[in-house]
Copies of this chain bind each other. A is one copy, B any other.
Amino acid sequence: MKLITKNTDYAVRALIYISRSGKRIVPASELIDALVVPRPFLRKILQILNKKGVLKSYKGKSGGFELARAAEEISLVDLIEIFQGQFTLAECLFRRKICPNTGTCALRNSLSVVEEKVVEQLKPITVKSLASFNGR
């Protein structure tokens, strides 16, 4: 199972790049060149990040994108939830009357704990921490 899809992956890379570039407004074209990512796909991703309040966009000639909030306020969980949806367990299928032990499903209960732990692990991973990871 994949923890991260390409949407999220590209989003992270783009955000790291923007973060490292200082407070500049970075146009999509520059990101596409730097990251070697398919143009229309990245453009779509940037638009979503804009709508979700992660990036702020500027139209027009010397427009582009900047971080809408501080790099340390953008966590990996945020991005995963934007592109891959909220963490969920298996759908517990009550409609189909599964779960003979009505009410308290063993699997459900165990997984919701795991879920919390996963989020807890991912939360401190931010654009800031990733950007400053290796000097470069």
A134 touches B104 (CB 8 A): yes
Number of identical protomers? 2
* Contact residue among B16, B90, B118 (Cβ-Cβ distance under 8 Å from A106): B16
- Apart from A76-B110, A110-B125: 8 A-B pairs, beta carbons within 8 A: A1-B3, A2-B85, A8-B90, A9-B90, A101-B136, A104-B133, A111-B125, A114-B121
Q: How many residues of A contact B (CB 8 A)?
A: 50
Residues on B with beta carbons closer than 8 Å to the beta carbon of A85: 1-2
Residues on B with beta carbons closer than 8 Å to the beta carbon of A13: 98, 107
Which residue of B is nearest A125, CB measured?
A: B110
A121 touches B130 (CB 8 A): no
Listed in ascending order, the chain A residues whose CB lies under 8 Å from chain B are 1-6, 8-9, 12-13, 16, 34-37, 76, 80, 84-90, 93, 96-98, 100-101, 104, 106-107, 109-111, 113-115, 117-118, 121-122, 125, 129-131, 133-134, 136
Give CA–CA (A107, B8) in the complex, Å.
11
* Contact residue among B4, B106, B130 (Cβ-Cβ distance under 8 Å from A133): B106
B1 touches A37 (CB 8 A): no
Give CA–CA (A98, B97) in the complex, Å.
47
* Contact residue among B87, B98, B117, B131 (Cβ-Cβ distance under 8 Å from A121): B117
